[in-house]
Amino acid sequence: MITLRDIKAARERVGKIAIRTPLLPLKFGPADTYVKCENLQRGGAFKCRGAANKILSLSPKVRARGVVAYSSGNHAQAVALCAQQLGIPACIVMLDQSVAHKVEGTKSYGAEVVLGGTSSEAIRKRAEEIAAERGYTVVPPFNDELIMAGQGTVGLEILEDLPDVKAVVVQIGGGGLSSGVATAIKESKPRVKVFGVEPEGAAKMHASLAKGELVTLAGTDTIADGLKPVRAGELTFAQVRKYVDEVVLVSDEEMLEATRRLILKEKLVVEPSGAASLAAILAGKLKLPKGKVCAVLSGGNADLAAILEGKFAGTATGTVQPSSR
């Protein structure tokens, strides 16, 4: 289990790569609703916090050999960004069906991209092979204490910028962000509520909590490509079980509605995964306490044309791809 101490220790390393993102009041949202803008983070998502903490915890010698990551999206860009900043080699193994703008984004940071198969399992194995062949270190996407502690720095900043916050709402992909944030919040201020949010079509943590053990989904079906793992991690599950008060589910349409509202009204570009937290608030899914509420906007690497043209709507075919591609 990670603790508040791990998260505080991550801060200095995270600060070498990540910026302190703004925490803003919603202009058009319900009263007392704030957003933590990780969509404005370097790399376009919170992910560089965990990656920075992991990579900067390696010995200089090990670090210099290089890093390899397996990811369908934002984690890939974050590891590529960190490697570029630190001047070390990076290889990113992505899904064959990865969204094109995320592949391009990763390459733009100078990383080598390998398309390693069609499943999370396949790309993980390919990454481990590459690590063994080249002496690179694997930077896992979420199930790693240094990654979780790095993401948890989002929680520390929320408490500093909004000391009287009463509830924090955070989306759950593999659980790295949610477990880190929940730990930061609950070990600092146990009375602040922490809500987790998953897509209806990728409810791996919700199912695991209900069963009391880690569940692997048969598949996922959601536009939120950042929240699509079929299985949370052992470490993130334990942490979320301990600290997250409740996990609720949102539909694709609810995420899209929140996404459009953030882009058109609040002038913040987010991706549907990044708007899941606000979607849960807007759709009335949460029993919120009175007072200030903060939703984490986890990422902004959106396919804007698809979102604005509503091309996501009506697609529901297993692994959903924007129809504009």
* Shortest Å distance, C-beta 258 to its own copies: 15
95: DSSP letter: -
**Contact in structure between 171 and 227 (CB atoms under 8 Å):** yes
One residue of 1, 100, 305, 316 binding its own copies per CB under 8 A = 305
* Shortest Å distance, C-beta 214 to its own copies: 33
Residue 270 contacts its own copies per CB under 8 A? yes
Q: Whose CA is closest to 5, among 152, 196, 203, 221?
A: 152
Strand, helix or coil at 85? helix
| 83 vs 240, beta carbon nearer its own copies | 83
298 among known catalytic residues: yes
**Contact in structure between 40 and 141 (CB atoms under 8 Å):** no
Residue 24 contacts its own copies per CB under 8 A? yes
One residue of 240, 263, 280, 295 binding its own copies per CB under 8 A = 263
Nearby residues of 220 by Cβ (< 8 Å), 6 or more positions away: 199, 201, 202, 204, 228, 229, 230, 319
Residue 15 contacts its own copies per CB under 8 A? no
**Contact in structure between 78 and 45 (CB atoms under 8 Å):** yes
252 vs 256: CA distance, rounded Å: 6
* Shortest Å distance, C-beta 39 to its own copies: 5
Q: Kindly identify the residues of this chain, within the stretch 171-230, that bind its own copies according to CB under 8 A.
A: none
47 among known catalytic residues: yes
* Shortest Å distance, C-beta 299 to its own copies: 9
Residue 294 contacts its own copies per CB under 8 A? no
Of 36, 47, 54, 292, the active-site residue reads 47
**How many whole angstroms from its chain centre is CA 264?**
22
One residue of 167, 172, 202, 269 binding its own copies per CB under 8 A = 269
The two three-digit tokens of residue 158, written as one number: 């929320």
One residue of 64, 210, 308, 316 binding its own copies per CB under 8 A = 308
Residue 9 contacts its own copies per CB under 8 A? no
> Looking at the chain, how many residues does it have?
325
One residue of 1, 132, 210, 304 binding its own copies per CB under 8 A = 304
The two three-digit tokens of residue 170, written as one number: 């955070």
Q: Whose CA is closest to 149, among 124, 182, 192?
A: 182
Four-residue CA torsion sign, 163, 35, 198, 98: negative
Residues carrying an active site annotation? 47, 298
Q: Which residues bind its own copies (CB under 8 A)?
A: 19, 22, 24-25, 27, 37, 39-40, 42-44, 263-264, 266-270, 300, 304-305, 308
